[in-house]
Chain A
Amino acid sequence: MNIITLLILFPLIAAIAVFLVRNDSMRNVIVKISALITCILTLYVVSTYFKTGASLSFANEHVIDLAIISVEILVASYVIYTGIKSKCYLVSIFAAIQTPLIAWFELTQKAGIEVKSAIILDNLSAIMVLIVGVIGSLICLYAVGYMKWYHEVHKDYKERKSFFLSVVFVFLSAMLGLVLSNNLTWIYFCWEITSLCSFLLIGYTRTKEAKKNSLLALVINVGGGLAFAIAIVMIGINFKTLELSVLITLKPGIMVLIPVFLLSIAALTKSAQLPFSGWLLGAMVAPTPSSALLHSATMVKAGVYLIIRLAPLLGQTSVGRIVTLVGGFTFLAASLMAIAQRDGKKILAYSTIANLGLIVTCASIGTQESLWAAILLVIFHAISKSLLFLSVGAIEHQLGSRNVEDMNILMHVSRKLALYMLIGISGMFLAPFGMLISKWAAMKAFIDSNNILIVIILAYGSAATLFYWTKWMGKLVSNANNRNVTKKDFTLDEELPIFIQAVLIVIACVTFPLISKYALVPYLTALFKGNAMVPISASDINIMLIMLCMILLLPISFIPLHKKDKRRIVPIYMAGENTGDNETFYTAAGMTEKVELKNWYMEGYFGSAKLTYWCNVIAIVIMCTGVILLIRGLA
C-alpha cells in the first residue's frame, strides 16, 4: 500500500480503535499514540513527495467507487432520517435529491470516463496535508485533557468521549482525503463526510441549542453538497472528465462557468461566507477542540481550498467577480460585527468568517500575487486560530468563563496562558506576524488587479479588526487586581499543544520567506507557467525580520532592568478617592465601591442582531446578480 493511502486510512483505523475502547486511560493512550503516528506519517509523506509531487491511480477504482457509493447511501439515509425525526424536512429533501443523483451518475453515466490520477499531491495539497496532519494531531492531543475536565464541569451532559474522539479521527481521515483527491466524486464524498462529522460534533452535548445549531449546520452544508453534486454531474456529462486538474484547464465558457458557480456555492457554504455564515456561529456550542479543528483550522478551509484550486477559472470571469464580492463583503461585515461580541469564542468565530472571506477574495481574484497571499493566509490563519481556540478553551477551564471582560485577571491566574493568547492575537493582525504579511500582499494584489472596491473594503475591515483584537489584548494585559484568584492546574496535555502552536507561529513568521520560496513560488510557477514573483520585496522582508527580533528582544532587555529598579510604586489615580488597594474607591456617601472597567462594544452600531439581517440581504443580492449574469451568458 502506498504511504499516501496509508496516511488517509490510518486515522480511520484509529477512529475504530478509539470508538471500541471504553476504558478511559487506555483510550487516552491510544488517542495520543494515534495522534503522534498521524503527525509522523504526515511529515514523512510531505518530506518524501514535497519536491517531486505524486499522483496515484488505483487498479480497482470501480470497487472503491462502489464502496463510496454504498457509504454515501448509508449517510444519506441517516441524514434523511435525522431530518424527518427533527422535523427539518429541508435537509431530508437535499439529501434525497443529491445521493440518488450521484448514484445514478456513477452507475449509468460514468462508463466512458477515465480518471487518470485519482490522487494528486502537489505543493498546495502538501501544505494542506501539513496543516491537517500536524495541527489536527495537536488538537487531538489537546482534546484528551480538555474532554476530561469538560465532563467534570458539565455533569449534566452525557459522557460520550469515545464517540467524540473517534468522530474527530474520522474527520481527519476525510479531510486528508479531501485535500489529496483529484477525482471530484471522491472530493464530494469526503466533503459530505466532513459535513456529517461537523453535525455530530456540534450536537455532541444533545442540549436543545446544540441540536438546533447542528441541524442548521447540516442543512447549509448538505445544501452546499447538493450544489456540488449537480456540478459533478454537469461536468461529467458535458466534458467526460471527473478530474479537478483537468477541469481547471478547460476554457471558461458558459458550460464550464455554471458548474464552477455551483462548486463556488458549495465552497462558500463550507467556508461560512455570507449569507451562509449562520451555521459557523452556532457551531461554537460544540466542545472547543472541535471548534478549533473543524470550525477554524481545517474543515472550513476546505471551501477556500476548492476556490484556490478553481482560481484559474474565476479571475476575470463573471463568477469570479461575484465570488470576490461575496468574500470581500463577508470580510467587512464579519469584522464589524466582531466588535460587538463579548464571548471569546464568538469573536474567534466572527474573525474566522472574516478571514475566510479575505481568503476567498484573494483566491477568486486569481492573479499570481493574490493566490500567493491566499495560500499564506490559509497557513497563518490555521496556526494562529487554532492556538487561540485552544487557549480560550484552557482559559475557560481556568476562569470558568470565556467572556473577554473576565480575562482581565488572567495575568494573575496564568501568565503563560496570557502570553500564548497575546502571541495568537498578535499573529492575527499585527506586523510583523503572518496574517499581516498576507494582508499586505493581498492589498498589493487587489490594487494591481484594479479591484479598488476590495481595497476600500480591506481598509475599513482592517481598521475594525485592529479595534476588536486590541481591546481584547488590552484586557489581557490589564493586570486587574484580584485577591481571591483560584489557580487551577494547567495540565501538560493542555499546555503542550498550545505551546507547540505558539512556537509554530513564531517559526512560521521567521521562515515565511522559505515557505514562499520552496512551496508557494514553485506551485504558482507551475500553475501560471511562468516565473512567479514574491509580492513583497526582499528589503521589506528584512525589515519585518528586524521587527520580529525587536518584538522578541524588547521584553528580554526589560527584565533585568526593573528588578534593581528603585522606582516608587504608587496607587493608581482615582481622583483622590482610591481606598489604597487599587480595587475600590470612596463614593460621595463615604461608602466603598468596586471599580469596574469595561471595554467598548458599541452594540448600537455593530450589534449582530441589527446587522446580520441586512448583511444577508446584501449577500443574497450579490449572489442573485451572479445567477442573472450566468443566465444572460446562456442566452
Chain B
Amino acid sequence: MILKIILIIIITPLVGGLLAGMDRVISARLQGRHGPSVFQPFYDVLKLTQKESIQVNTMHRFYVYASLAFIILTVVVMLTGGDILLAIFVLTLGSILFVLGGYSSNSPYNTIGSERELLQMMAYEPMVLLTGAGLYYADKSFFIKDIISAKVPAIIYLPGVFLGLIYILTFKLRKSPFDLSMSHHGHQEIVKGMTTEYSGKDLAIIEVTHWYETVIALTLVFLFFATSSLESRIFAVIACLLAYLFEIIVDNGFARVKWQLALKSTWLVTGVLGSINLIVLSFFR
C-alpha cells in the first residue's frame, strides 16, 4: 500500500508533465509552428529550480507548498480508489490555499489573479459537486474503486453530467476561454496573473502542482467510462486523451472571455445539463 502511494506520487507528475508536453506540441502544430520536444515542460521546471528564488514576503510561498501537499493528497485519495467527495473537498482545500497565497502577496496583479481564480472556483464548483453526486446516483457508491468496477459505465446514466464536466474542465486545465486567473497565452494575460510574484523554485512547484491537477481532471473523465472489464478501461484512457485533445483545440480556438460570461454560462450549463440529467435519473430510481 505504501509502495503504491509512493508510486502514485512519483508517476502522476511524470504523466502530467508529458501531457503538458503534448499540449505544447499540439498547440504549436495548430498554430503552424514546429513546437518544442514533449519533454520541454520537464526542462522548464528543472531550469526554474536552478534560478534564484526571490520573494515579496516570507509567508507568500508557504501557501504554494501547502497547496501542493493537499493536491497530492487528492491524487492519492483518487488513485487508491477512495471517496470521490472527499477527494473533491481536499482538492478544494488545495485550490483555496493557492488563492490565499495570491492574496498574501498583497501585490495588485497577484491579487487580481487570486480574485479571478476564486470567481472561477465559484463558477465550476457546483458542477464538480454534481459530478460526485451523479456518480453516486449511477453506481450507489462514492468510492472510486466501486465506481470503476460497475457493470455499466456511468456515462450511460450521466451524459448530461459528463458534458457539464467537460465544460468546466476548461477551468481546471486553465485553458481559454476560461483561463482568467493565469494563462499561458501571454497576449491575453494581465502580467502573469496569479503567479506574478512567484519565481524560481516556487514557480516550479506551481507548475508541478498543475501537472497533478491535470491528472485529477482527467481521472474524473476516466470514471465515466471505466467498468470492471479491461477493454473499457483502455477505452476510458482513450476517452481521457480525446477530452484533453478537445480542450487543447478549444484553448487555441477561443480568446479569454469576460468573467461575467464565464460565471453565467457555467452556472447555466451546470443548471441545465447537470441538473436535468440528475432529475431525470432520480425519477427512474
In the assembled complex, which residues on chain B have CB atoms less than 8 Å from the CB atom of A443?
A: 85, 129, 133
CB distance from B163 to the nearest CB of A (A): 16
Say yes or no: A463 contacts B55, CB within 8 Å: no
B9 at the interface (CB under 8 A from A): no
Asked whether B181 is an interface residue with its Cβ less than 8 Å from the other chain, the reply is no
Complexed CA–CA distance, A370 and B165 (Å): 27
User: Quick check: A567 and B142 within 8 Å, CB to CB?
Assistant: no
* Distance (whole angstroms) from the CB of B203 to the closest CB of chain A: 13
Question: Given the complex, which residues of A lie within 8 Å of B89, measured CB to CB?
Answer: 431-432, 436, 440
Q: Which of B271-285 contact A (CB under 8 A)?
A: 271, 274-275, 278-279, 281-282, 285
Provide the bound-state CA to CA distance between A342 and B69, in Å.
32
Interface positions, chain B 100-153, Cβ under 8 Å from A, are 100, 102-111, 114-115, 118-119, 121-123, 125-127, 129-130, 133, 136-137, 142
* Cα-based distance from A558 to B133 in the complex (angstroms): 37
Residue-wise interface mask of A (436-470) relative to B, using a CB-CB cutoff of 8 A (1 in contact, 0 not): 10001001100100101101101110111011001
Distance in Å: Cβ of A575 to nearest Cβ of chain B: 7
A572 at the interface (CB under 8 A from B): yes
B275, A462: Cβ atoms closer than 8 Å: no
Count of interface residues, chain A, beta-carbon cutoff 8 Å: 59
Is the beta-carbon distance between A455 and B115 smaller than 8 angstroms?
A: no
Residues of A within 8 A of B102 (CB): 474
Q: Does A574 contact B (CB under 8 A)?
A: yes
Q: Do the beta carbons of B119 and A600 come within 8 Å of each other?
A: yes
Partner of B108, one of A459, A473, A595: A595
State whether B99 touches A470 (Cβ < 8 A). Answer: yes
How far is A474 from B107 in the complex, measured between Cα atoms in Å? 12
Contact of A573 (CB < 8 Å), options: B96, B107, B127, B285: B107
Contact: B118 with A543, CB < 8 Å?
no
> B129 and A462: CB pair below 8 A?
yes
Using CB atoms, name the residue of chain A closest to B115.
Answer: A600
Render A531-543 as a binary contact track against B, CB cut-off 8 A, 1 for contact. 0000001011001
A-B contact count (CB 8 A): 175
Asked if A568 and B52 sit within 8 Å, CB to CB, the answer is yes
Is A592 on the interface with B (CB-CB < 8 A)? no
What 1/0 mask marks residues of chain A from 567 to 580 whose CB sits below 8 Å from any chain B CB? 11111111100000
What 1/0 flags go to B77-91 for Cβ under 8 Å of A? Answer: 100001101100110
Q: Does A5 lie at the interface of the complex (its beta carbon under 8 Å from any beta carbon of B)? A: no
- Out of B62, B103, B106, B282, name the residue touching A450 (CB < 8 Å): B282
In the assembled complex, the Cα of A447 lies from the Cα of B104 at a distance in Å of 38
CA distance in complex: A544, B83 (Å)? 11
The answer to whether A431 and B92 have CB atoms under 8 Å apart is yes
B92 in complex: contacting residue of A466, A540, A575, CB < 8 Å = A466
CA distance A459 to B267 in the complex (A): 11
Contact A547–B142 (Cβ < 8 Å): no
User: Which residues from chain A contact B90 at a C-beta distance below 8 Å?
Assistant: 431, 543, 547
**Across the interface, do A467 and B85 meet the contact criterion of CB distance under 8 Å?**
no
Say yes or no: is A511 at the interface (Cβ < 8 Å to chain B): no
Q: Tell whether A477 pairs with B104 under 8 Å between CB atoms, given A569-B55, A569-B57, A573-B197.
A: yes
Task: Flag if A466 contacts B126 (CB, 8 Å).
Answer: no
Residues of A within 8 A of B234 (CB): none
**Which of these binds chain B: A61-69, A308-316, A478-486, A495-503?**
A478-486
Contact of A599 with B by CB under 8 A: yes
Which residues of chain B are near A450, meaning CB under 8 Å? 282, 285
B77, B103, B142, B196 — most chain A CB neighbours (10 Å): B103
Task: Please state if A463 and B122 are interface contacts (CB–CB under 8 Å).
Answer: yes
Secondary structure call for the A interface: helix
Cβ-based interface call for B155 (8 A): no
| Nearest CB on B from A64, distance (A) | 49
Q: Taking CB as reference atom, which chain B residue is nearest A565?
A: B58
B222, CB-defined interface residue at 8 Å: no
- In the assembled complex, the Cα of A463 lies from the Cα of B191 at a distance in Å of 28
Chain B window 57-79, contacts with chain A (Cβ cutoff 8 Å), 1 for yes, 0 for no = 11100100110011001000100
Shortest beta-carbon distance from A328 to chain B in Å: 14
A408 within 8 A of B: yes
Q: What residues on A are CB-neighbors of B281 within 8 Å?
A: 452
- In the assembly, what is the distance between CA of A115 and CA of B123, in Å? 54
Minimum Cβ distance to chain A for residue B252 (Å): 28
**Contact B86–A544 (Cβ < 8 Å):** yes
When chains A and B are docked, how far (Å) is the Cα of A205 from the Cα of B117?
A: 42
Residue on B with the closest CB to A570? B54
The reply to whether A447 and B137 contact each other, CB–CB distance below 8 Å, is: yes
User: Do B96 and A466 have beta carbons less than 8 Å apart?
Assistant: yes
- Judged by a CB distance under 8 angstroms, whether B250 is at the interface is no
> Which chain A residue has the least Cβ–Cβ distance from B88?
A431
On chain B, the residues within 8 Å of A116 by CB distance are none
Contact A463 B104 (CB under 8 A): no
Contact partner of B106 (CB less than 8 A), chosen from A464, A480, A568, is A480
Determine if B279 and A459 form an interchain contact, defined as CB atoms under 8 angstroms apart: no
Interface string of A139-157 (1 = CB under 8 A from B): 0000000000000000000
When C-beta atoms are compared, the residue in chain B nearest to A561 turns out to be: B62
Q: Which residues of A contact B129 (CB under 8 A)?
A: 443, 458-459, 462-463
Per the bound structure, the CA–CA distance linking A462 and B99 in Å amounts to: 17
**A554–B59 CB distance below 8 A:** no
In Å, the complex CA distance between A600 and B108 comes to: 14
Whether A430 is near chain B, meaning CB under 8 Å from some CB there, is: yes
CA gap between A480 and B103 in the complex, in Å: 10
* B62 adjacent to A462 (CB under 8 Å): no
- What is the CA–CA distance of A524 and B59 in the complex, to the nearest angstrom? 46
Choose among A470, A546, A565, A595 the residue that contacts B96 (Cβ–Cβ < 8 A). Answer: A470
CB closest residue in chain A, given B94: A431
A568-B275 contact in complex given A436-B89, A478-B103, A554-B66, C-beta closer than 8 Å: no
Contacts of B7 in A (CB 8 A): none
Known: A474-B100, A479-B59, A558-B62. A597 touches B125 (CB 8 A): no
B56 on the A face (CB < 8 A): yes
Known: A447-B136, A474-B100. A452 touches B279 (CB 8 A): yes
Q: Which residues of A contact B278 (CB under 8 A)?
A: 452, 455-456
In the complex, are the beta carbons of B119 and A474 less than 8 A apart?
no
Check: A582 CB closer than 8 A to any chain B CB.
yes
Closest to B285 in A: A450
Q: Pick the residue among A452, A479, A555, A570 that contacts B104 (CB under 8 A).
A: A479
B103 vs chain A, min Cβ distance (A):
3
Known: A459-B129, A463-B121, A464-B122. A572 touches B56 (CB 8 A): yes
Q: Is B229 an interface residue (CB 8 A)?
A: no
Kindly state whether residue A381 has any CB partner on chain B within 8 Å.
no
**Is there an interface contact between A462 and B52, defined as CB atoms closer than 8 Å?**
no
Q: Mark B242-282, 1 if CB is under 8 A from A, else 0.
A: 00000000000000000000000001001100110011011
Complex Cα distance, B100 from A532, in Å, reads 40
Nearest neighbor of A554 in chain B, beta-carbon distance: B66
Residues A539 and B115 in contact, CB atoms below 8 Å apart: no
A479-B57, A479-B59, A567-B53 given; A456·B130 CB < 8 A: yes
A562 within 8 A of B: yes
Which residues of B are found within 8 Å of A430, using beta-carbon distances? 92-93, 96
The 7 closest A-B pairs by CB, nearest first: A474-B103, A463-B125, A572-B107, A431-B89, A459-B129, A459-B126, A452-B282
A-B residue pairs in contact (CB < 8 Å), sample of 26: A408-B106, A431-B92, A432-B89, A443-B85, A447-B133, A447-B137, A450-B285, A452-B279, A456-B274, A458-B129, A470-B96, A470-B99, A473-B96, A477-B104, A478-B106, A481-B106, A539-B83, A547-B93, A550-B69, A572-B106, A573-B196, A573-B197, A574-B107, A575-B191, A600-B115, A600-B118
For the A-B complex with A450-B285, A543-B90 known, give 8 more contacts whose Cβ atoms are closer than 8 Å.
A467-B118, A467-B121, A471-B115, A474-B102, A474-B115, A478-B111, A537-B83, A547-B73
